[in-house]
Amino acid sequence: MTRVFLVSLMLLQFTLVSVQQEIEIGREANAQVRKEVPELRDAQAAAYVRSIGQRLVRNAPGPQYPYSFTMADYREINAFALPGGPVWINRGVLHTATNESQVAGVLAHEVAHIAQRHAADQLTKATVANLGLGLLGAVLGNGGGASAAQMAAGFLTNGVFLKFSRDDEREADQVGLQILRTSGWDGRGMVELFQILQQESTRNPGSVETFFSSHPPPQDRIGRLQGMAGSGGTRDSQQFQSIRARLLKMAAPKSMPRS
């Protein structure tokens, strides 16, 4: 009985925020992020990241979100997804990756967070925790109406967005891997990226600190994904290598501010 009640509560959580609301909230949050995060304004590199992202999106499950892919001019190895479509990837990922499938793996993980609507769950928790139950009522349509801006503020607390749960992370790895493989890339790219993160954590801890603060340890994920990664598919491209070389010649990326 209690269990059934809990399960229905959990299911309810996913329906508190509609897809349309999620998209609006993501748009607001992205406007906020744009004010704070330096975008790498290089047409070729931006188009390249976008092309990988769009190829993944074609194979993503879930609602037709207006996905976007933007490169942050930061050196650290990190990426993040906002509700309803916006994905950011740090320039540092492209510096550190050794082939295209690894970059596609990072983006596939973020696309999976969006496609699986993990933000809707986080938004519900954030709304309850930060803004009180009154606002939750408003979101549910019983009150004055929470604006997308208020909800975005709940998602971005002090400029840092909420952590996804471990279950969400596991699901993003699994669904992301599926998206990666269906889109034609070698699934091993995702595993390799985690191996790189693991190496960096001893060699250059500062470069992966943000990533580790918001993600489960790579060794757990490597073990789980190795059996599912398969082989075959695209590992690399001439384009990746030339974009990477281009990025490495530019002025050094900035460091992410410490939060």
- Among 16-24, 70-78, 164-172, 229-237, the segment contacting Zn ion (CB under 5 A): 164-172
Catalytic residue of the set 22, 76, 110, 169? 110
Q: Given the complex with Zn ion, which of 169 and 192 has the nearer CB atom?
A: 169
Q: How many C-beta neighbours within 10 Å does residue 198 have? A: 16
Please check whether residue 186 is in contact with residue 234, taking contact to mean a CB–CB distance below 8 angstroms: yes
> Is 100 considered catalytic here?
no
Instruction: Say which residues have a Cβ less than 8 Å from residue 118's Cβ, sequence separation at least 6.
Output: 164, 165, 168, 171, 172
- Among 62-70, 165-173, 230-238, 243-251, the segment contacting Zn ion (CB under 5 A): 165-173
Q: Given the complex with Zn ion, which of 101 and 210 has the nearer CB atom?
A: 210
Cα atoms found within 13 Å of the Cα of residue 99, Cβ hemisphere only: 14
- Among 19-27, 55-63, 172-180, 248-256, the segment contacting Zn ion (CB under 5 A): 172-180
- Among 63-71, 146-154, 166-174, 179-187, the segment contacting Zn ion (CB under 5 A): 166-174
Instruction: Say which residues have a Cβ less than 8 Å from residue 107's Cβ, sequence separation at least 6.
Output: 49, 52, 53, 56, 69, 79, 87, 89
In the complex, minimum distance from the CB of residue 113 to Zn ion, in angstroms, rounded to a whole number: 6
Output the CA torsion 154→156→158→161 (10° steps): 130
Q: Given the complex with Zn ion, which of 73 and 110 has the nearer CB atom?
A: 110
The β-bridge relationship of strands 68-72 and 86-90 is parallel
Q: Given the complex with Zn ion, which of 218 and 244 has the nearer CB atom?
A: 218
Q: Given the complex with Zn ion, which of 108 and 138 has the nearer CB atom?
A: 108
In the complex, minimum distance from the CB of residue 172 to Zn ion, in angstroms, rounded to a whole number: 5
69 forms beta bridges with 87
Number of residues engaging Zn ion in binding (CB under 5 A): 2
Q: Given the structure tokens 């599926």, which residue do they identify?
A: 178
In the complex, minimum distance from the CB of residue 168 to Zn ion, in angstroms, rounded to a whole number: 7
In the complex, minimum distance from the CB of residue 163 to Zn ion, in angstroms, rounded to a whole number: 9
Mapping DSSP to helix (H, G, I), strand (E, B) and coil, where does residue 254 land?
strand
In the complex, minimum distance from the CB of residue 167 to Zn ion, in angstroms, rounded to a whole number: 11
Cα–chain-centroid distance for residue 44?
22
Which residues here bind Zn ion, judged by CB under 5 A? 169, 172
Q: Which residues are catalytic?
A: 110
